[in-house]
Structure 1
Amino acid sequence: MTVEALVISLRSAAARRAMQEAQLGRLGLPHRLLDAVNAAGIQAADLARWQRAWCRPLRASEIACALSHRQAWSEVAAGTQPRLILEDDAVLGPATAAVLDVLQHRSGLDCVTLETFTLPKLLGRRVAIGATGHMLAEVFRDSAGAAAYLLWPDGARRLLASLPGLLPPADAAINLTVGLRMYQVEPACAMQAIFLPRGEGITPEVAETTISNAPRPKVDSAGDWLRYKLRRLRVSAILLRKRLRGLGRSQKRIAEFRIA
């Protein structure tokens, strides 16, 4: 069975949807477009509540993105097979399908990121997975990004149950979920379009990011400021435990991305 991709995409994002349809078709990956939450459609009361549900005030676009990933997690949690979760600006390398075919049959995994970023990650020892020279390494600290990751039902359930009452961005939730068996594919099979040269289907409409364009909301009160700081301390403690667990068996490195 070939891994199915769930592509998180706004209905209005025609260029990105076309890019994903084209590349997933080339790779032979079955896929389904998952309509992303539109920030404009979030009720004002819900927006106000979620805006203060993290370690800092969240933009409406960040809330919508986090809720969209949670929709995808719910679908994976309700099933029995791992799914590839894609944001609609993720560009995939040619070995992606072969890597997924191998990974879906491995045990002991909750979440495997196919994505690399422009910053180093704290990664463990590489282990060959027998697919086109690719390897797998445990993630002790990621940098950012949730554009392309293979998620198992157990992992989805762990993500949904993590940090109750809070709404971390998807990449933060993945990085902070205690007990999540998280790994990195090396060389990476995906990178967001914003970090790649234009051409080959990567147009300005595909590469432009809208999540961080809006100004960040301000802290409303001293009480909110204190709540944010206390949450940040909680987050820092989780990250410190992960770093300590990786002492002596991890290193900082940037996962290479092969576009061809």
Structure 2
Amino acid sequence: MKILLINLATSTERLAFQQAQFAKLGLSFDILPAVSVDDISDDEYHRLAFGWQRPLRKVELACFLSHKKAWQTVLEHGKPCLIIEDDAVLVQDLVQLLHDIETAAPVDTDLVNLEVRSRKKIISKRPATSLLDGQCQLYSLYQDRTGTGGYVLFPTGAAKLLDRLQHTAPATADGFIYASYELNSYQTEPAMLIQQDQMQAYGLTDDLRFDSTIGRSEHHAVEYDNLSQKLTFKLRRLWAQLRMGLRHLSVLSKAQRRYIEFDKERFK
């Protein structure tokens, strides 16, 4: 399976980490040059960054556009690809995992999420299939909230995301993906990837200490130009929260909201 690593040209330390990690895994990857804030003109920023639930920071828009490049690459490639950000920490048996996803995932699969970020997810009560000789279960993923550190995207999923972008404004990358309810998404359990900033939360030694370069939306204080703009964004957020509530109700009989299991031994 082709692996697309989103990496800023200036993030040489992160690239070196990934090169060492993938050498141990016996895998190679393609560098997908990340969109930089310097690549976004003021006109483009004002055209794209104000249609979501709040104004996007330039770094968040750059992150979204980087993932959009990855979606286009998957569509052109015509086969599923693993898309990862350059602070992703991966399990030891990634080779077998990717093989199993490509050969054993349900036929309707658009996206398989590999990661966790310390939040509950809404998944199916029963797994759809097993991977890694039964050591990993694949559940239908009905609602996630955060995290685009690593996911397998199928061409059908790439087409759906790019089609949605024709009539929906850009958002944070995770906000856009997880609001795309037309995707047939799945979640691995245990999780098969975390991002560097989650290592301590999941009991792993964190010696990486990367600065965030392509955007984190957590703990961001939003600034609005005026009261009217603030009201517009608040109404959009309210609508998004309502959609999530309706989504949960629509799958209530077959879904559960819980944390995804994490086996830190797989990362050692």
Report the TM-score when normalising by structure 2.
0.88
Question: 2: distance between equivalents of 1:238 and 1:181?
Answer: 17
Equivalent position to 1:236, from 225, 233, 241: 241
Q: Deviations over 1:64-120 (max 9, x none)?
A: 001100010011112210000000011001122211101112321000001111111
Give the match for residue 98 of structure 1: 96
Q: Give CA-to-partner distance per residue, 1:209-230, whole Å, 9 cap, x none.
A: 2424896451113442233233
State the match for 1:117 in structure 2: 117
Q: 1:199 to 1:40 in 2, by over 3 A?
A: farther
Residue identity (%):
32
User: Which residue is 2:7 aligned to?
Assistant: 9
Q: Structure 1 stretch 49-58 or stretch 148-157: which is displaced more?
A: 49-58
**1:165 shift after superposition:** 4.3
Aligned positions of 1:66-215 closer than 5 A: 66-105=64-103, 106=105, 107-124=107-124, 125-132=126-133, 133-162=135-164, 164-197=167-200, 202-205=207-210, 208-210=211-213, 211-212=215-216
More displaced 10-residue stretch of structure 1: 156-165 or 195-204: 195-204
Determine if the alignment matches structure 1 residue 255 to structure 2 residue 260: yes
Call closer, same or farther: CA 1:203–1:131 in 2, change over 3 Å: same
Structure 1 stretch displaced more, 108-117 or 157-166: 157-166
Change (3 A) 1:83 1:143: same
Compute the displacement of 1:148 (Å): 0.3
Contact preservation (8 Å) 2:145, 2:175: no
Report the Cα distance in structure 2 between the residues aligned to 1:88 and 1:130, rounded to whole angstroms: 25
* Aligned mate of 1:220, from 215, 220, 225: 225
Distance 1:185 1:173, change over 3 A: same
Partners of 2:73 and 2:46 in 1: CA distance: 26
Whole-angstrom CA distance in 2 between matches of 1:200 and 1:225: 41
The amino acid of 1:172's aligned partner reads G
Cα deviation 1:155-213 (Å, max 9, x = unaligned) = 011111225240111111111113100110001110001111499784223xx324248
Call closer, same or farther: CA 1:199–1:193 in 2, change over 3 Å: same
Contact 1:112 1:185 in 2 (8 A): yes
What value does the CA root-mean-square deviation take over the aligned residues? 2.2
Comparing 194-203 with 127-136, greater Cα deviation is found at 194-203
**Mapped contact 1:10–1:36 kept (Cα < 8 A):** yes
- Out of 32, 38, 56, the residue aligned to residue 40 of structure 1 is 38
Unaligned segments of structure 2, at least 5 residues: none
What one-letter code is carried by the residue in structure 2 that aligns with 1:155?
A: G
Task: Sort the Cα spacing of 1:235 and 1:199 in 2 relative to 1 into closer, same or farther, 3 A.
Answer: closer
Partner of 1:245: 250
After superposition, the C-alpha distances for 1:22-70 in whole angstroms (9 at most, x for unaligned) are 2122222331011100012211111122231211011111010011000
Q: Secondary structure at the match of 2:235?
A: helix
Instruction: For residue 77 of structure 2, give the secondary structure of its aligned residue in structure 1.
Output: coil
**Which of 24, 27, 36 lines up with 1:26 in the alignment?**
24
Is the contact between residue 196 and residue 209 of structure 2 (CA under 8 Å) also seen in structure 1? Answer: no
Residues 222 and 15 of structure 1: CA distance in aligned 2, closer, same or farther (over 3 Å): same
Which range is displaced more, 39-48 or 148-157? 39-48
Aligned residues: 256
